Chains A and B, each alone.
Chain A
Amino acid sequence: MEHKTAALAEADRLMTVCNSCRYCEGLCAVFPAMEMRRSFADADLNYLANLCHNCTACYHDCQFAPPHEFAVNVPKVLAQVRNDSYAQYTWPAALQPVFRRNGLWIGLACAAFVTLFLIGTFVWNGAGAMFSAHTSPENFYALMPHNVMVALFGPAFLFAVLAITMSGRAFWRDISARDMSDGADQAGIDYARAGHDAGRLTYLDGGGDGCMNADEQTSDNRKLWHHLTFYGFLLCFASTSSGTLYHYLFGREAPYAWWDLPVVLGTVGGIALVAGTVGLLRAKLRQYRDVRDETRFGMDTAFIAMLFGTGLTGLLLLFLRATPLMGILLAVHLGVVMTLFLTAPYGKFVHGIYRYLALARFERERRGAVEHQHA
Chain B
Amino acid sequence: MPKMSSNLSGPWDVLVAGGGNAALCAAIAARRAGRSVLVVEAAPRFYRGGNTRHTRNMRCAHDHATETLTGPYTEDEFFDDLMRVTGGNTDEALSRHMITQSKSMLDWIQEQGVRFQPSLGGTLSLGRTNSFFLGGGRSMLNSLYETAERLGVEILYDTEVVALDIEERTFRAATVRREGQDHRIEAANFVAACGGFEANIEWLKEGWGEKADNFLIRGAPYNRGTVTRMLLDSGMQQIGDPTQCHAVAIDARAPKFDGGIITRLDCVVFGVVMNRDCERFYDEGEDIWPKRYAIWGRLIAQQPGQIAYVVFDAPNLNRFMPSLFPPIEAGTLPELAEKLELDPVKFTATVEEFNAAVVGGFPFNHTEPDGNRTEGLEVGKSNWAQKIETPPYYAYPVRPGITFTYLGVKVDAEARILMGDGNNTPSDNMFAAGEIMAGNVLGQGYAAGIGMTIGAVFGRIAGQEAARHGT
Contacts and interface: CB of A to CB of B under 8 A. Distances in A.
Interface of A: 16-17, 19-27, 32, 35, 38, 57-58, 60-65, 67-70, 206-209, 216-217
A69 B137 CA distance: 18
Interface stretch (B80-88, B117-125, B305-313): B117-125
Nearest to A62: B138
Contact of B134 (A21, A35, A208, A217): A208
B134 A26 contact: yes
A22 B135 CA distance: 9
Contact of A20 (B118, B134, B255, B262): B262
Given A23-B56, A61-B138, 16 more contacts: A16-B322, A16-B324, A20-B263, A20-B321, A25-B121, A26-B134, A38-B322, A57-B135, A57-B139, A61-B136, A61-B142, A67-B46, A68-B258, A206-B135, A207-B135, A216-B142
Nearest to B135: A61
Contacts of A64: 260, 262
B251 to A, nearest CB: 10
Contacts of A21: 136, 260-262
A60 B56 CA distance: 15
Interface in B100-136: 115, 117-118, 120-122, 132-136
A217 B149 CA distance: 12
B53 A63 contact: yes
B447 to A, nearest CB: 20
18 contacts: A16-B324, A20-B263, A22-B120, A23-B133, A24-B135, A26-B135, A27-B134, A38-B318, A61-B136, A61-B138, A61-B139, A62-B138, A64-B262, A68-B46, A69-B258, A206-B135, A207-B134, A216-B146
Nearest to B121: A35
A17 B262 CA distance: 7
Contact of A208 (B46, B115, B133, B321): B115
A214 B139 CA distance: 16
Contacts, number: 84
Contact of A22 (B122, B138, B255): B122
Contact size class for B? 20 to 34
Contacts of A65: 46
B135 A58 contact: yes
A26 B122 CA distance: 14
Interface of B: 46, 53-54, 56, 115, 117-118, 120-122, 132-139, 142, 146, 255, 258, 260-263, 318, 321-324
A23 B120 contact: yes
Nearest to A15: B322
B135 A23 contact: yes
A63 B322 contact: no
A42 B132 CA distance: 32
A83 B321 CA distance: 31
Contact of B135 (A19, A27, A32): A27
B136 A23 contact: yes
A60 B260 contact: no
A209 to B, nearest CB: 7
B255 A23 contact: no
Contacts of B46: 65, 67-68
A117 B188 CA distance: 77
Contacts of A208: 115, 134
B312 to A, nearest CB: 15
A63 B136 CA distance: 9
B26 to A, nearest CB: 22
Contacts of A27: 134-135
Contacts of B139: 23, 57, 60-61
Contacts of A35: 121
Which one of B117, B118, B134 has the greatest number of beta carbons of chain A within 10 Å? B134
A35 B321 CA distance: 10
Given A16-B324, A57-B135, A61-B142, A26 B117 contact: yes
Contacts of B146: 216-217
A350 B439 CA distance: 57
A19 B322 contact: yes
A58 B318 CA distance: 26
A365 B163 CA distance: 57
A60 B142 contact: yes
Contacts of A19: 322
Contacts of B324: 16-17, 20
Contacts of B262: 17, 20-21, 64, 70
Contacts of A24: 135-136
B135 A63 contact: no
A17 B117 CA distance: 21
Contacts of A58: 135
A264 B53 CA distance: 52
A20 B261 CA distance: 7
A25 B117 CA distance: 9
A63 B133 CA distance: 13
Contact of B260 (A57, A63, A207): A63
A63 B134 contact: no
A207 B318 CA distance: 28
B20 to A, nearest CB: 12
B154 to A, nearest CB: 18
Contacts of B54: 63
A19 B122 CA distance: 11
A38 B326 CA distance: 11
B309 to A, nearest CB: 19
A206 B318 CA distance: 30
Contacts of A62: 136, 138
Smallest CB-CB A-B distances: 10 pairs? A23-B136, A26-B117, A61-B135, A20-B262, A61-B139, A63-B53, A20-B323, A63-B138, A26-B134, A216-B142
A23 B121 contact: no
Contacts of B56: 23
B115 A207 contact: yes
Contacts of B133: 23
A23 to B, nearest CB: 3
B132 to A, nearest CB: 8
A374 to B, nearest CB: 15
Nearest to A58: B135
A214 to B, nearest CB: 14
A37 to B, nearest CB: 9
Contacts of B132: 26
A176 B305 CA distance: 48
A9 to B, nearest CB: 15
A247 B321 CA distance: 62
A34 B54 CA distance: 20
Contacts of A69: 255, 258
Which one of B135, B261, B321, B323 has the greatest number of beta carbons of chain A within 10 Å? B135
Nearest to A72: B262
B258 A26 contact: no
